[in-house]
Structure 1
């Protein structure tokens, strides 16, 4: 018996790329009960599941086959036929969301099978006067949990490049259109909150989509691969770059999540650069022994932020045209950030009894050829 307020959802192809992402996302919603149908289930079990479903996400399908092209028909057409046949039999009209492909418009065996599945569902909707059937033609979907060498070129490139394996590009200038898995899931999930909405067209799309050449895609992923050495983050304000970077990291070898950074040491302590960005500067961390003073310099354009992570420090600043010294004592007891404006000479002194650890941010990457750093004591000379 259905619990009041609970929406029963059935996902076919729940073990697939889109299915796994959708299953997790819907599982985060309290009033949804999820059932799944996979290749391990029987047709009798499918009928029982359909009797309970308020919403069906029909995601099952075959993307690639070895030699037997008829597998496309079995995977993409037959199950759709069985679902519509059973729904007619039990006289139920749950909301149906089906994932199709932009390849339904071409004449490949795969494209023909997806088009046929669309036609079966369309015919069912028309003959039963069912106005809550939504068919989404998806372009190349990319994101976490895809299967390399199967789901998408992005998955394959990410997998290989992250492992220093070769990739194959037959036409570098070929442009592909991509859609991010999280945008697909957001659209599909929103159907739960639009239960009363009826369809106003036959075919739907998920937006936004992104166009990129295979060459530029590969170059972008190779830049991600270099980050562990050059520490330079990509421009994450670009939505495609942000999505691709998250996707790339999801395909790392599980034994390769951690990497070492270069530590520069001298008599004062140590310094380690963490991250750099052409758009947002860089982050680094330093340690200083008790009594050590760093700095005593100023910048024209470069600005910095100091944050004491461990220990006790005295930060001094002075406008280079003034005799007035501004002093801050900061400790790890209260997390504070001290801004270092341009035109102020500044110093950082460890006034504690133990090692001082400070996190720094600068608005530009340090360039030894153009350091914008000029020595000047904070204490009046």
Structure 2
């Protein structure tokens, strides 16, 4: 298919085009304010589907609302009619189309124009009234509080919240794009005359800021947000996309001695802790046991041996491990255990434990294997 996307350099346009180019073989006809105007005519002649995402939401004068949201829509439809092209057309409207303000009225005028066009030509039209959309590539300090908060908190800049109890209806950009791809395939989510994204998150403004601040603090705490919560997962992905280029990495505290090093990477309240252990050649670490704490060891570089012994047995069990053959070794409770480097180079082991280390309740008891 030949798919015309107006507003192609905008927030939704960029995300939609990226998805279509990555997952389909459709030809994308990109049109934005910087595109040669003469191309619109040829695009409207050959388009098989139109995503009309272009619009104005931050003009210098109120008159520009109607000019951008109604005027350009009229120009687009006239070009389609000129070529008798009755392909389906989707328009990006707003929930504010139901309100009496210059922006909402201009969006409603665009909707009405599209309905009249459908009545006249028989073309299928899909009107989407989006609430607040958030996600990567949304411009901060423009018309998205989420984008502005992400941008500022990632740069240690202040954020201003007049009323933290205000709730926002939010849709995530990936959910928007998924719905638009459904629409392209004729499987749109219709609710009467209006189409909609099926997943909406209703969130307090104060809770958004608190979550973003916890994401910033998570680097120092080595914590991971609760990815089981759909909104938290989406907001965290969004936040990371606003990191400045010099903040993609962050340091970890390495506990170093003559034996090697031990470095915690991730701590979670419900999924345990992940660490990296480096053992020098000939070094054995461990020789302790646990009542309830359990671990998984994965040697990713070097060669070594993991030894176990039940507290009430003299039998020593050995597992020879190597980065050449990836395998996870479970460390059972009630067994004293150690791990020794048998090679001539450093041995690197990824270690997971079912609970983050608590020095007040370590559940770790020294005993030679």
TM-score band (shorter)? over 0.9
Number of residue-to-residue matches in the alignment = 369
Counterpart Cα distance in 2 of 1:42 and 1:313: 65
Q: Does the CA-based 8 Å contact 1:17-1:151 persist in structure 2?
A: no
Please state if 1:120 is matched with 2:107: no
Which of these residues, 137, 140, 149, is aligned with residue 148 of structure 1?
A: 140
**How much does 1:17 deviate?**
0.1
CA spacing shift, 1:136–1:319, aligned 2, 3 Å: same
Tell me the equivalent position of 1:362. 353
Counterpart Cα distance in 2 of 1:69 and 1:42: 26
Counterpart Cα distance in 1 of 2:121 and 2:190: 14
3-state DSSP of counterpart to 1:314? strand
Tell me the equivalent position of 2:11. 17
Tell me the equivalent position of 2:259. 268
CA spacing shift, 1:234–1:29, aligned 2, 3 Å: closer
Counterpart Cα distance in 2 of 1:42 and 1:315: 67
Structure 1 unmatched runs, 5+: 1-6
**How much does 1:200 deviate?**
7.5
CA spacing shift, 1:249–1:140, aligned 2, 3 Å: same
Q: Does the CA-based 8 Å contact 2:8-2:53 persist in structure 1?
A: yes
Q: Structure 2 matches for 1:1-381, cutoff 5 A? A: 7-41=1-35, 43-66=37-60, 68-130=61-123, 132-194=124-186, 201-378=192-369
Partner deviation per Cα, 1:152-177 (whole Å, 9 max, x = no partner): 11111000000000111111110101
Q: Does the CA-based 8 Å contact 1:14-1:20 persist in structure 2?
A: yes
Partner deviation per Cα, 1:295-316 (whole Å, 9 max, x = no partner): 1111222211111122221101
Q: Does the CA-based 8 Å contact 2:190-2:196 persist in structure 1?
A: no
Counterpart Cα distance in 2 of 1:248 and 1:155: 8
3-state DSSP of counterpart to 2:247? coil
CA RMSD of aligned residues (A): 1.7
Structure 2 unmatched runs, 5+: none
Counterpart Cα distance in 2 of 1:14 and 1:274: 40
* TM, length-normalised to structure 2: 0.96
Partner deviation per Cα, 1:317-348 (whole Å, 9 max, x = no partner): 12223332211111122111111122222111
Q: Does the CA-based 8 Å contact 2:154-2:244 persist in structure 1?
A: yes
* TM, length-normalised to structure 1: 0.93
Counterpart Cα distance in 2 of 1:326 and 1:47: 77
**How much does 1:140 deviate?**
0.8
Counterpart Cα distance in 2 of 1:301 and 1:126: 70
Counterpart Cα distance in 1 of 2:190 and 2:212: 39
Counterpart Cα distance in 1 of 2:227 and 2:190: 35
Query: Which range moves more in the overlay, 269-278 or 13-22?
Result: 269-278
Q: Does the CA-based 8 Å contact 1:319-1:344 persist in structure 2?
A: yes
Q: Does the CA-based 8 Å contact 1:178-1:210 persist in structure 2?
A: yes
Tell me the equivalent position of 1:3. none
Query: Which range moves more in the overlay, 34-43 or 179-188?
Result: 34-43
CA spacing shift, 1:199–1:220, aligned 2, 3 Å: closer
Q: Does the CA-based 8 Å contact 2:189-2:195 persist in structure 1?
A: no
Counterpart Cα distance in 1 of 2:347 and 2:323: 9
